[in-house]
Amino acid sequence: MACKFCGPKLSLCGLVLSVWGIIQLTLMGVFYYIRAVALLEDLPLESETGHHTIEGFIATVEAGYTQNAYNCWIAALLYVITLVVSGHQFWMNNRSSVSM
């Protein structure tokens, strides 16, 4: 299991970034899921001129909200993996420096 490919600094950076990413992206996912108005500007609404009816527009928005919620959670999940990997690397680095 001695596969050390990150230095102490990079692994620490990965740890901090992934903790931040998990917290923020999970929360953003939740906010998208409950259709927070503040995130309306950050929705994929390509064909803005396309929908002439309110119903069509609302449907697009709803779909965008759900899609972005899932995307946020996917990214959060990827950060969980990053956390595990960099945590393992960090642990390896620490252990090797102690044993030295």
> Footprint of another protein on this chain (CB under 8 A)?
17, 20-21, 24-25, 36-44, 46, 54, 64, 67-68, 70-75, 77-79
Q: Please, which residue, 70 or 91, has the CB nearer to another protein?
A: 70
Minimum separation from the CB atom of position 22 to another protein (A): 10
Minimum separation from the CB atom of position 46 to another protein (A): 7
The two structure tokens encoding residue 34 = 């409950």
Q: Please, which residue, 2 or 53, has the CB nearer to another protein?
A: 53
Largest Cα–Cα separation, the chain: 70
Where would I find the beta strands (DSSP E) of 1-100?
Answer: none
Minimum separation from the CB atom of position 63 to another protein (A): 8
**CA nearest neighbour of 69 among 99, 98, 26:** 26
Asked if residues 73 and 29 have their Cβ atoms less than 8 Å apart, the reply is: yes
